[in-house]
Structure 1
């Protein structure tokens, strides 16, 4: 969509663009206008029938005859407004004639042609006869607004707002416009409909079936805008003029109303409306998380253009708000060649640098100036996206918007958007031109490049009138230009590098130290959070800042705190490497080499892990050495530190516990979350514990400092499992996904880097359990509906999928040689599969459930925790039960195997430590 699609351009001759940006239109009166000097003899010839529009900063007369110009009288230039008591051709005119004296009159749309306004700056009288009401019905309101116009800007705004509030408080929603009289009203308030350069106030009504907007004036095509809740596809909170008061609603394709953008008086009212909408049963939203969209883009299921548009929307960019219009990158730099070779990297712009830093000579001068500046330093005094820049590109199809923004004037003809080559050259070399592109360059028919003659833009210095934009020689026409620009955006070069531009515009290089390093620092007021308008008491200061916000543009909301991963550039499965999350090419190469080595050395990894396993003799002689009741409910995760001194456990009671085996006492008890905890793991450095929670978060707890270092919102539903191998963190969730993260515990004190998202593995139902091999390259997952999936972690592709159980899968485990895996389900079945062929090698109906399993690395032995409270040992080759020992009176829910030691936890919160009977207890 584009803002040109909005219906404001298709309305009657008068529209809100003829007013100042943000000006409010109140009333409409049918009148007859008598130009100065009209006498009785030529009354019929000179008088003009039309409508008088009362607005917050002007009075506008709109004649019915199109040849006559629209007449606007700015209230700040008006010297008097009064009832006219003289004789105006008839005694019937008594109490119906009003005279306005003004030093300035603005004439617009003469002969209905959109062109620069004509300003007549001389004192004159303007006489209007009201057709159906008396002067007393409209004169007081005009006089009140006239008084407001004499005040400083801030006080004028405050007085107008008070007038608006008073009027609106007397206007209630007309319930006769409800589509169904039995609809239950859920929420009602007042707010503005936001369109480019236009705010139109009205009443907002939400019922159990529809959202209604009833404007306070008659400017809209319909008296009430109606949106069925079942037609709504997306509801997004928006930042409007640096305040969190906006809400944008998108409807499904084919809906009668496609879209509406509303702003409310306060953040609380906006949030209340947003929450109430989401609570309605009729609502059926299209769900797509940021991680999901990233994965779709990485795997080429989403185009570069569509992904950038999605990021724009997430970052509060909207076609309805010219201060936050969607921004797109310059891609091509060659606008003079006869052909465009998309395989030639020389034609592309360096996407790792902002526009202002592409010219080394220019940026060097700016760096020198930057160093000499006081606080609130900036490199660029103008932004890459402002209302002026957007309309610079769109002037040919949006002339009224240009006139509205530029006080009734077009830019000088030679400074308009006349040539792609000239515009790019100015962005590259101009002292204050750093603008990026807009979506229209990559989508649509390119009509914004054509002058269809609806406006008079003037004559250039070469004597030629403003015509179509001069296209590069490589473009046959405007259609071909758009097609080739889109092809360049979707090219291999752009796909491999666009994540660098995302880092600049939406990511970690947007602010702070990284922005300085990247030469990406703009004026401080363009950034979110730089100013809080609600706390500014001085109305004049607030008005000044609002004007600056309009003029300077706004930096998008930051979406990413870490480097954005690149796109997968090769089709099909590929070997997994961690180049996606490193910030330097040297680090990328090192990590990729390590990943290759870890996969190629699987046998040595397995061999080295033999020492950490129990022997057959140990397992045959296991007995309980210690029992502890540490939790109030089921133990869901157990970990023994590498030195064997301490036990960490988590439970559905929300607590993380640390118990010293040496001191035989509890050392830590930490309430991690308000919801149950599902799993935990201790990092090899014995400094960090990773905890999964039902509140959708993964928590990183520092053993040294005894506090949460970071919390990662990993999923959209409960986190069911967390496992870690070779700097790969894998989280599973009831939201039907497992996610891959890079997570390397820092060796530096007081420093912590959270996990960085790498990829997502989608399932048909919630993921209940998972296990990964020693190299971190093979993953097995089990789901709520009994499915087991084998994944290649490197390529993020499924190797195989099978329906293993009738109920949920309780536990899965991979053998050390990666040839077999076990699955146990709520249907009481134990199954062992061949990894390569997915053949069921063993199927046992036990009559009871197994809740947790561990496959011992150096043996074909499997340890299982059962519903009977037993610790069972199975021979994976012979499919026979080796031994079963009972240590719990409740089902065993958690199991951990360490060097010559086994830990188990049960549903009642008890933990047992098992050791061979000849080992010292």
Structure 2
């Protein structure tokens, strides 16, 4: 069986270029045995990989070379190298610390198929460059690499029959601690990387689960062009993962905490292919001493509202004292929560070759290694320079937990107490590495973490990441940790630039900021609430709709003018509607017969909206275009009240279960009225008006949350405002629409607000933070919407009824509901029945039907 080549870019120094490869033989001194193998010419060293894997790989640093010459023997093809130090690696193919041989040695290298003259000029050029300072050497090596890259062309023999090249660019393939330069080629069928090297802007392809190809290009223009051309290829199937959709999936419980954190890391440019920007995960468990892990006890968990450095108040006080005495730029924490060294601290048993690469062929001191979970947690709580978070491997139950065990039986050394460094010591509550990871994952997905993880997201990816909010949250790191703190491309001094790059790498990098407002909490309480209310008899069936359709049950008698508002009674026995014809119609759903059809007033007046207060069994409240509110008793067929509520048309109504009526008007106000106890009596305006909310523009829509704590109003210019319904104070303005807001509605759990507009867009907001969670633009103005808590029903000016899945935010189905515009929608609590009203003067009642 052919032996796999042992050479790896990890045997080079980080950032070192690998230029050429030659078949050769090597001997040390005149009389030594010749070894067959391959010679690698790199920017900082020559590396010889013997064919006999029992022999060590030899690395000869250029900085240690005294002379490099061609043998003087006539006809010889031998390269002579005198070096005062060389390095032995992988002796007997065992992964262990490198051996540094500090003695004068003569290496003779016999090239088998290449002429010494062909490679000597490059080797001598690299040898001369090794005397330069680090920054200047890197610049020169990059220039040499670029010059050689331009001479290399893509090998067309890789292509399949009929496959065409779309783009070909110079770029790099990035893996942890190594960069492999080459040509990146996009074809109609594939993306190819033909090895051979600079590191600026990246593009990552996930081509299998947990498999990525991380490529970098010279600049953003080339990267973006490559990306756009990739999307244009019909063979490429891209998974659409918009941030707003992923956040909603997580909120609704369709995405685990683990998967959501992985997604946020990816969105913030964190990748397992780059140790300087490795995915960061939180410590969530704070108990590593108890015999059992109690996930129902809040004391088991770390406080997720605080960064690691602020968990210990005594340590924080010392850090704050130092911070107050510091000159600008100030920082609380001199070390970061994620650096290459911290990542490999955890993963050294899994990736020992990475640690050897990072630390110049050495492992860390045995007492400083990741030996014990309880010791590590104790250290991040108390040490004045240790604030590291965790890595995703601590919660990944699909992996084999090999970062916790010394599976390669590597000699990491002996600790001060005589114990050899072996497997990581686990807490008592874990009986194996797999059990440990499983329980940490359970903790990550627990109710406590689900209810608090959004605070940690604010610290790492959100609005508490930097600026005044970071100072308030005690979350301030060294300024070079922050994205955009320094523009390296504008620094012309190579030594200064290199120094900054080294500092950035050693200090760690803050993830790219994703959220500028507080992250919404997890709100997957919907199904639990439905179960409590007894609304859904078969929860599993409801959550597994596959082929859903909307079927028309019946059409009511026709209005004489546009039907503007429709409501289903709570018991689903009747459907009520009003329109511009000043008529109120009531139909029995079971018999599909008209119960009432009355002209409410003796003179023509257009009705805009209708609500059915639950405390009045047969009473409707009707909003009119001349500013009055009509209270109509359907049983007695009479108006029980009619009062002037606004100076202009009443555009919208809302009702509180606590007996409050909210009216919105084109007179730019929303008013809150305290309704009398049943039966409804004449309202005295002076005593019943409780508050008036003034707007600069016409109020066109409003909604009250189920818990009666929040009121939302929308205007004709697209504004959306949130108000406290407890004291009627203004809370905030949301990033609304560009045109008239036609309808707004709170979710059943009050966590979200939905809106639609004449700008053809409907949006979902987090009602606590005001963060826009989702936005979708359709092909026509959207006039109305409703939701049952899980599905959104949207009505358009084109008469279409759209049904959207709120978990996946996919269009389930659409129905041509009206020949004109769809003006209003009402939906039952369980989503089984829908009523629509339209400009065609019709009111339809629909039933939902689905297959499991």
Instruction: Report the TM-score when normalising by structure 2.
Output: 0.72
CA separation of 1:325/1:312 partners in 2, compared to 1, >3 Å: closer, same or farther? same
Aligned to 1:612: 627
Question: Which one is further off, 608-617 or 346-355?
Answer: 608-617
Q: 1:280 aligns with which of 230, 233, 249?
A: 233
Q: 1:117 aligns with which of 90, 98, 118?
A: 98
How many residues are aligned here?
A: 681
- Once the two structures are superposed, residues 350-390 of structure 1 have per-residue CA deviations (whole angstroms, 9 ceiling, x without a partner) of 01100010000101111111112222211111110110011
For the Cα contact (< 8 Å) 1:573–1:796, is it kept in 2?
Answer: no
Aligned to 1:543: 498
**Structural RMSD (CA):** 4.4
State the distance in 1 between where 2:34 and 2:440 align.
54
Secondary structure of 1:119's counterpart equals strand
Aligned to 1:642: 668
Secondary structure of 2:264's counterpart equals helix
Aligned to 1:887: none
- Once the two structures are superposed, residues 657-709 of structure 1 have per-residue CA deviations (whole angstroms, 9 ceiling, x without a partner) of xxxxxxxxxxxxxxxxxxxxxx99699999996756xxxxx999xxxxxxxx9
- Once the two structures are superposed, residues 857-915 of structure 1 have per-residue CA deviations (whole angstroms, 9 ceiling, x without a partner) of xxxxxxxxxxxxxxxxxxxxxxxxxxxxxxxxxxxxxxxxxxxxxxxxxxxxxxxxxxx
Secondary structure of 2:425's counterpart equals coil
Q: CA deviation at 1:183?
A: 2.7
Q: CA deviation at 1:739?
A: 3.2
For the Cα contact (< 8 Å) 1:264–1:270, is it kept in 2?
Answer: yes
Is 1:212 the counterpart of 2:224? The answer is: no
Q: 1:28 aligns with which of 2, 21, 46?
A: 21
Q: 1:824 aligns with which of 838, 843, 846?
A: 838
Aligned to 1:147: 128
Aligned to 1:723: 743
Q: CA deviation at 1:553?
A: 1.4
CA separation of 1:711/1:498 partners in 2, compared to 1, >3 Å: closer, same or farther? closer
Q: CA deviation at 1:268?
A: 1.6
CA separation of 1:600/1:407 partners in 2, compared to 1, >3 Å: closer, same or farther? farther
Secondary structure of 1:534's counterpart equals helix
For the Cα contact (< 8 Å) 1:50–1:61, is it kept in 2?
Answer: yes
Is 1:782 the counterpart of 2:795? The answer is: yes
Q: 2:84 aligns with which of 90, 100, 103?
A: 103
Aligned to 1:193: 173
Q: 2:301 aligns with which of 337, 348, 371?
A: 348
Q: 1:475 aligns with which of 408, 424, 430?
A: 430
Q: 2:63 aligns with which of 76, 86, 89?
A: 76
Is 1:337 the counterpart of 2:267? The answer is: no
CA separation of 1:720/1:68 partners in 2, compared to 1, >3 Å: closer, same or farther? farther
Q: 1:58 aligns with which of 27, 45, 55?
A: 45
Is 1:387 the counterpart of 2:340? The answer is: yes
Question: Which one is further off, 189-198 or 681-690?
Answer: 681-690
Q: 1:249 aligns with which of 197, 205, 226?
A: 205
Matches within 5 A, 1:169-318: 169-180=150-161, 182-216=162-196, 245-252=201-208, 258-318=211-271
State the distance in 1 between where 2:826 and 2:153 align.
70
For the Cα contact (< 8 Å) 1:446–1:482, is it kept in 2?
Answer: yes
Q: CA deviation at 1:404?
A: 0.3
For the Cα contact (< 8 Å) 1:102–1:123, is it kept in 2?
Answer: yes
Instruction: Report the TM-score when normalising by structure 1.
Output: 0.66
Aligned to 1:413: 366
Q: CA deviation at 1:290?
A: 1.1
Aligned to 1:740: 764
Aligned to 1:918: none
State the distance in 2 between where 1:796 and 1:602 align.
30
Structure 1 unaligned runs (5+)? 1-9, 218-239, 576-598, 618-637, 645-678, 693-697, 701-708, 745-753, 840-921
CA separation of 1:500/1:205 partners in 2, compared to 1, >3 Å: closer, same or farther? same
CA separation of 1:464/1:797 partners in 2, compared to 1, >3 Å: closer, same or farther? closer
CA separation of 1:113/1:802 partners in 2, compared to 1, >3 Å: closer, same or farther? closer
State the distance in 2 between where 1:184 and 1:264 align.
21
Aligned to 1:523: 478
Q: 1:320 aligns with which of 273, 282, 295?
A: 273
For the Cα contact (< 8 Å) 2:759–2:781, is it kept in 1?
Answer: no
Q: CA deviation at 1:734?
A: 11
CA separation of 1:535/1:722 partners in 2, compared to 1, >3 Å: closer, same or farther? farther
Matches within 5 A, 1:497-512: 497-512=452-467
State the distance in 2 between where 1:309 and 1:138 align.
46
Is 1:67 the counterpart of 2:54? The answer is: yes
Aligned to 2:5: 12
For the Cα contact (< 8 Å) 1:773–1:816, is it kept in 2?
Answer: yes
State the distance in 2 between where 1:204 and 1:734 align.
45
State the distance in 1 between where 2:373 and 2:745 align.
52
Aligned to 2:570: none
Q: CA deviation at 1:502?
A: 0.7
Secondary structure of 1:385's counterpart equals coil
Matches within 5 A, 1:657-696: 691=717
For the Cα contact (< 8 Å) 1:768–1:810, is it kept in 2?
Answer: no
Secondary structure of 1:740's counterpart equals strand
Secondary structure of 2:186's counterpart equals strand
State the distance in 2 between where 1:802 and 1:433 align.
54
Structure 2 unaligned runs (5+)? 531-610, 633-638, 640-663, 671-697, 704-710, 722-731
Aligned to 1:756: 771
State the distance in 2 between where 1:321 and 1:440 align.
15
